């Protein structure tokens, strides 16, 4: 397919169209997710999770009209290519094995976002102004925003970073293809050297959960990151996709995603390497961050919606941005409507504000990092949006080329929580995201101030041994100075959502 222009990622512009979920639930419900009142937010989430959304891509006529208006008003915008005849591509039509073509607008029908690439001769400001002029009187357009750039947030504290590990096999990791044979070959190149249980797993009670028979079996966890590389200690992903322009595989060429994946689901009992929190969980490899650890275009939002549509019950987002993005907010709301819980890293800015998307309060489970003494890691961000804490200092896990490394960051803490989510869902597969979040908060080990630790340290064994509410008592508004838990959604709603989650 001819490419009508290659853009700079930071100059991509998102056009916000009418959001399908907002059309069905009402603008008040979606707006309530940003309320300062936690009761209002959680009541809105209950409504979102109880709804059966219809996401047939019914807005393509609107998208064509918007593209035509922009092209007529701003011919330098790469909205239409006379040579290829391509006006835009739906995210549903992207090949999951090949990154999207640069310069071609991409429409995400699940979030109502049209991502447009201006030519490199235009600045983002000029492009936004041109778009705003072109669609000023179009009722289908709610606004525009420059793309938010996300980065992998790990190992930013040099004083804590481990010495580089010696790889088990020589040579740098290449740009692996999706061929499962590579995973088999990798397995043959590693000699058994004994298996260790990383300190974090003991700290959060993962071993106790295993002894009781819960290891994440039957649960799919999406690693939305730099991809997952072939590694003897990780089962091949159930499936994968890449949303990085120019990439040809969902395999990892950075290392961050492979490290995250190992913490979630590294094999247990195979006699080598490390064990993951939920070793029987299955993984989706969703590549949204490039080789340098940064996003390109609206890749993260596309990756979240793809994971939600491909069986994920848990999404791990060990990435962040200081900028709020309505495009990303819509993506995580959509995932919640598909019965998916999103675990997101709080960020490594040494006590700075919680990063996005973790800062989308309650819509994501915001994770802070702790050390071996259960103290807040010095690099971990803080704020009222924090929900829970997990180990994030000197975390040993899988890395590229069948190696293992110790890394630090809220990126390393977040997969501990994602793994515990998988463990609890393997015991209670009917549980909706809001109920799961409340249960993890209620069973966490208190550590200190909520703006530093959230409700405390996530704990797998406590979570699976504590009773889970199955009734739906009347919800009483939370007092102004309280952060008490809300009531569970009805059990009948849970059953309906469980059926939809497996579609």
Average pLDDT, stretch 384-393?
97
Q: What is the average pLDDT value for the chain, to the nearest integer?
A: 83
pLDDT value of residue 485:
39
Residue 470: how many other CB atoms lie within 10 Å: 13
Name the burial class of residue 332, with classes exposed (0-12), middle (13-18) and buried (19+) by CB atoms within 10 angstroms of its CB: buried
pLDDT of residue 387: 98
**What average pLDDT does the segment 153-179 reach?**
44
Q: Does residue 492 register a pLDDT over 90? A: no
User: What letter would DSSP give residue 364?
Assistant: B
The single residue of 47, 71, 130, 225 carrying the catalytic annotation is 225
Q: Which residues pair with 361 in a beta bridge?
A: 364
Banded model confidence at residue 484, pLDDT cuts 50, 70, 90:
very low
The band of 24, judged by pLDDT with boundaries at 50, 70 and 90, is confident
Residue (of 501, 473, 467, 500) closest to 489 by Cα position: 473
pTM (2 decimals)?
0.86
The answer to whether domain 152-468+484-501 has CATH 3.40.50.200 is yes
Query: Tell me, what's the pLDDT at 379?
Result: 94
Name the band, by pLDDT with cuts 50, 70 and 90, for residue 119. Answer: low
Q: What is the pLDDT of residue 477?
A: 32
Q: Please check whether residue 114 is in contact with residue 66, taking contact to mean a CB–CB distance below 8 angstroms.
A: yes
Strand partners, 283: 221
pLDDT over threshold 90, residue 246: no
Can 488 be counted among the known catalytic residues?
no
Residue 256 designated active-site = yes
Identify whether the C-beta of residue 477 lies closer than 8 Å to the C-beta of residue 34.
Answer: no
- 107: how many CB neighbours lie within 10 A of its CB? 27
Q: What is the mean pLDDT of residues 241-264?
A: 95
Domain extent listing, the chain = 9-147, 152-468+484-501
User: CB neighbours (10 Å) of residue 479?
Assistant: 9
Those residues with Cβ within 8 angstroms of residue 93's Cβ, 6 or more apart along the chain or in another chain: none
pLDDT of residue 205: 98
Q: What distance in Å separates the CA atoms of residue 357 and residue 364, rounded to the nearest whole number?
A: 7
Of 193, 169, 189, nearest to 403 (Cα)? 169
DSSP string, 282-331: EEEEEE-B-TTSBB-TTHHHHHHHHHHHTT-SEEEE-EEBSS--HHHHHH
pLDDT in tens, 327-361: 999 999 999 999 999 999 999 999 999 999 999 99
Q: What pLDDT, on a 0 to 100 scale, did the predictor assign at position 65? A: 86
Catalytic residue among 87, 256, 259, 416: 256
Three-state DSSP class for residue 131: helix
196-226 tens-digit pLDDT: 999 999 999 999 999 999 999 999 999 999 9
Ranges 6-15, 88-97, 115-124, 327-336: which has the least confidence: 6-15
pLDDT band, residue 493 (cuts 50/70/90): very low
Q: What is the mean pLDDT of residues 100-119?
A: 85
Q: Is 411 a catalytic residue?
A: yes
DSSP line for 136-162: TT-TTEEEEEEPPPPEE-----TTTPP
Q: Which of 23-27, 167-171, 295-299 has the highest mean pLDDT?
A: 295-299
Residue 486 has pLDDT above 60, yes or no: no
Rounded-to-integer distance, Cα 147 and Cα 328, Å: 10
Please pick, among 337, 380, 411, 488, the residue that the annotation labels catalytic: 411
């Amino acid at each position: 397919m001819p490419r009508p222009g290659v853009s700079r990622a930071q100059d991509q512009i998102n056009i916000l169209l009418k959001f399908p979920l907002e059309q069905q639930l009402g603008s008040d419900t979606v707006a309530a997710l940003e309320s300062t009142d936690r009761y209002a937010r959680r009541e809105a989430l209950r409504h979102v999770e109880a709804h059966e959304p219809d996401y047939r891509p019914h807005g393509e006529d609107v998208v064509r009209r918007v593209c035509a208006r922009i092209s007529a008003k701003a011919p330098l915008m790469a909205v239409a290519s006379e040579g290829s005849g391509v006006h835009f591509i739906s995210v549903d039509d992207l090949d999951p094995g090949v990154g999207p073509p640069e310069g071609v607008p991409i429409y995400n029908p699940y979030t109502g976002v049209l991502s447009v690439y201006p030519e490199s001769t235009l600045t983002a400001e000029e492009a936004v102004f041109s778009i705003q002029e072109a669609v000023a009187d179009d009722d289908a357009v709610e606004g525009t925003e420059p793309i938010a750039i996300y980065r992998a947030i790990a190992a930013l504290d040099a004083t804590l970073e481990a010495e580089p590990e010696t790889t088990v096999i020589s040579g740098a990791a290449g740009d692996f293809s999706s061929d499962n044979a590579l995973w088999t070959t990798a397995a043959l190149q590693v000699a058994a050297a004994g298996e260790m249980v990383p300190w974090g797993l003991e700290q959060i009670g993962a071993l106790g959960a295993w002894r009781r028979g819960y290891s994440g079996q039957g649960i799919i966890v999406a690693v939305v990151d730099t991809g997952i590389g072939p590694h003897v200690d990780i089962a091949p992903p159930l499936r994968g996709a890449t949303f990085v322009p120019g990439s040809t595989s969902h395999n990892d060429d950075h290392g961050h995603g492979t490290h995250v994946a190992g913490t979630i689901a590294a094999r247990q009992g195979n006699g080598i390497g490390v064990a993951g929190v939920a070793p029987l969980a299955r993984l989706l490899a969703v590549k949204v961050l490039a080789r340098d650890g940064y996003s390109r275009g609206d890749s993260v939002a596309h990756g979240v919606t793809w994971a939600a549509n491909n069986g994920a019950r848990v999404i791990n987002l060990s990435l962040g941005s200081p900028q709020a993005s309505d495009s990303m907010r819509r993506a995580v709301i959509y995932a919640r409507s598909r019965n998916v819980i999103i675990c997101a890293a709080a960020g490594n800015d040494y006590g700075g504000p919680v990063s996005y998307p973790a800062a989308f309060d309650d819509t994501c489970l915001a994770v802070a990092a702790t050390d071996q003494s259960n103290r807040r890691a010095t690099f971990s961000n803080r704020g009222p949006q924090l929900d829970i804490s997990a180990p994030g200092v000197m975390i040993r896990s899988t890395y590229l080329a069948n190696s293992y490394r110790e890394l630090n960051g809220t990126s390393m803490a977040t997969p501990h929580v994602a793994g515990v989510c998988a463990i609890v869902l393997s015991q209670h597969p009917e549980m909706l995201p809001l109920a799961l979040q409340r249960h993890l908060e209620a069973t966490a080990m208190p550590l200190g101030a909520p703006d530093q630790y959230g409700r405390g340290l996530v704990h797998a064994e406590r979570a699976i041994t504590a009773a889970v509410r199955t009734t739906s008592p009347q919800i009483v508004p939370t007092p102004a100075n309280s952060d008490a838990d809300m009531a569970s959604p009805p059990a009948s709603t849970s059953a309906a959502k469980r059926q939809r989650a497996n579609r």
